[in-house]
């Protein structure tokens, strides 16, 4: 059978969009809560200007690329990883900039689900006589902004849960000791997941047991990373006001179901913000907690908590991705189990996972898996 003929324009569209996606990834840690977006301006088969969205409040990817291209943008094709915006946000609409620059074609990877844009960007370009091609490398562009897409469509963030265990699935010895299970490469990797997250979530139990800082430290240039919101789920508002988290730079939010005004005042005096939410059957309503984070423009969440809280997130089908580090040790049957998932007895009740990525980091293994919510 002869293979189908190569569509050269289609092949070069994919090549340029791959470059635009590569540029978008430069904003991985800094563009939040905005999406990561990249743009390349191509004229006569040549890259005449490129850019990406660096920080919320600053110029969008298209404007940076158009500025780099200057006059060369006239008659060119713009490759953009997200539908160009049509609204006045913190910056003017990118569609106006593309039209004013005289580009003749715009190739877009993913539509922008932001209700302020949502198809109007593409419509405005077409009305201006610009040729528009959609959906080139769409899956990659959506994956890069899974959190932004989820927040815009469902009002809640994309949730990752990080777990670290021995090869036999234990997270602490019978004595309670748990430092350190994984090695330095795996622990640095956690800081990279934190750096891309708008919020890092833990529970009051972990604050009391480990007194973590939950900051982004172990990356190349930590000062350039906007500090993620550190969130403590604390239904009874019993978090100690002298917790290490409260002495580190960056905002801390405590989500609680308690009305205790005295504790609230003490935590606020220590620098935390406190928000009251409805209670669920076992403490805080986790879905309400995620919606509260969505209202605060949180795209991606990294949950770093103990087996009870992470188990509750998993059991409620609120986890989108598990990041599991496993160290080459056996900690024995008396150690603490990875997740508290009550009520699982029969094989039919197992929670299926789909493995997305398995690799070795230092001496440890990292597994990225997605619960199969069916």
What is the residue whose two structure tokens read 């748990």?
178
Give the torsion sign (CA, 286, 291, 296, 301).
positive
- Whether residue 27 is annotated as binding a ligand: the answer is no
β-pairing, 321-327 vs 158-166, is: parallel
Span near ligand AOF by CB under 6 A; candidates 59-67, 99-107, 134-142, 243-251 = 59-67
Q: Which is nearer to ligand AOF, 87 or 238 (CB)?
A: 87
- CA distances (Å), 208 to each of 25, 117, 213, 308, in order? 36, 44, 12, 14
What is the residue whose two structure tokens read 């897409």?
149
| Half-sphere exposure (Cβ direction) of 359: Cα atoms closer than 13 Å | 9
CB 186 within 8 A of CB 364: yes
25 to 44, contacts with ligand AOF by CB under 6 A?
34-35, 37
Q: Does 124 bind Zn ion (CB under 5 A)?
A: no
Q: Does 60 bind ligand AOF (CB under 6 A)?
A: yes
Give the DSSP letter of residue 247: G
Give the torsion sign (CA, 272, 274, 280, 283).
positive
CB 164 within 8 A of CB 181: yes
- Whether residue 217 is annotated as binding a ligand: the answer is yes
Q: Does 111 bind Zn ion (CB under 5 A)?
A: no
107 to 146, contacts with ligand AOF by CB under 6 A?
112, 114, 117
- Whether residue 10 is annotated as binding a ligand: the answer is no
Q: Which is nearer to Zn ion, 60 or 263 (CB)?
A: 60
Give the torsion sign (CA, 161, 368, 165, 374).
positive
27 to 86, contacts with Zn ion by CB under 5 A?
60, 85
**Active site residue: 46, 50, 62, 71, which one?**
62
Count other Cβ atoms within 10 Å, centred on residue 188: 14
Min dist CB 350 to Zn ion, Å, is: 45
Q: What gap in Å lies between CA 321 and CA 95, rounded to an integer?
A: 34
Is 334 among the catalytic positions?
no
Residue 280 binding partner per list Zn ion, ligand AOF, none, with a CB distance cut-off of 5 to 8 Å that depends on partner kind: none
Q: Does 91 bind ligand AOF (CB under 6 A)?
A: yes
**Token code pair at residue 103:** 């580009």
What is the residue whose two structure tokens read 């622990």?
187
Q: Does 195 bind ligand AOF (CB under 6 A)?
A: no
Residue 61 binding partner per list Zn ion, ligand AOF, none, with a CB distance cut-off of 5 to 8 Å that depends on partner kind: ligand AOF
- Whether residue 143 is annotated as binding a ligand: the answer is no
Span near ligand AOF by CB under 6 A; candidates 54-62, 101-109, 158-166, 219-227 = 54-62
Q: Name the residue among 249, 228, 227 with its Cα closest to residue 301.
A: 228
Q: Which is nearer to ligand AOF, 53 or 366 (CB)?
A: 53
Catalytically annotated residues: 62
User: Residue numbers of the site for Zn ion (CB under 5 A)?
Assistant: 60, 85, 94
Q: Which residues of the chain form contacts with ligand AOF (CB under 6 A)? A: 34-35, 37, 53, 56, 60-62, 82, 84-85, 89-91, 94, 112, 114, 117
Q: Which residues are part of a known binding site for Zn(2+)?
A: 60, 85, 94
């Amino acid at each position: 059978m002869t293979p189908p003929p190569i569509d050269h324009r289609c092949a070069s569209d994919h090549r340029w969009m791959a470059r635009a996606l590569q540029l978008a990834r430069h904003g991985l840690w800094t563009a939040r809560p905005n999406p990561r977006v990249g743009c390349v301006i191509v004229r006569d088969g040549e890259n005449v200007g490129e850019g990406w969205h660096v920080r919320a409040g600053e110029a969008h990817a298209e404007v940076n690329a158009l500025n780099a291209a200057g006059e060369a943008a006239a008659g060119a094709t713009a490759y953009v990883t997200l539908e160009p915006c049509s609204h006045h946000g913190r910056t003017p609409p990118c569609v106006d900039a593309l039209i004013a620059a005289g580009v003749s074609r715009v190739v877009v990877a993913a539509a922008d689900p932001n209700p302020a844009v949502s198809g109007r960007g593409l419509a405005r370009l077409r009305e201006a006589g610009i040729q528009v091609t959609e959906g080139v490398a769409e899956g990659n562009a959506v994956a890069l902004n899974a959190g932004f897409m989820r927040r815009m469509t469902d009002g809640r963030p994309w949730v990752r849960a990080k777990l670290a265990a021995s090869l036999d699935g234990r997270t602490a010895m019978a004595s309670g000791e748990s430092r350190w299970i994984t090695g330095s490469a795996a622990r640095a990797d956690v800081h990279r997941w934190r750096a891309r997250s708008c919020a890092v979530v833990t529970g009051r139990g972990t604050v009391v047991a480990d007194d973590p800082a939950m900051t982004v430290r172990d990356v190349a240039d930590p000062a350039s990373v906007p500090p993620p919101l550190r969130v403590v789920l604390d239904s009874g508002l019993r978090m100690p006001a002298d917790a290490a988290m409260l002495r580190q730079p960056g905002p801390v939010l405590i989500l609680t179901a308690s009305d205790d005004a005295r504790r609230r005042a003490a935590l606020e005096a220590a620098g935390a913000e406190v928000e009251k939410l409805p209670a669920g059957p076992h403490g805080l309503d986790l879905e309400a907690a995620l919606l509260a984070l969505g209202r605060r423009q949180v795209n991606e969440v990294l949950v770093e908590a103990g087996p009870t809280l992470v188990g509750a997130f998993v059991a409620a089908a609120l986890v989108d991705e598990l990041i599991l580090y496993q160290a080459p040790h056996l900690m024995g049957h008396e150690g603490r189990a990875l997740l508290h998932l009550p009520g699982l007895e029969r094989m039919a009740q197992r929670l299926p996972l789909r493995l997305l990525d398995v690799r070795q980091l230092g001496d440890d293994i990292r597994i990225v898996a997605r619960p199969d919510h069916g």
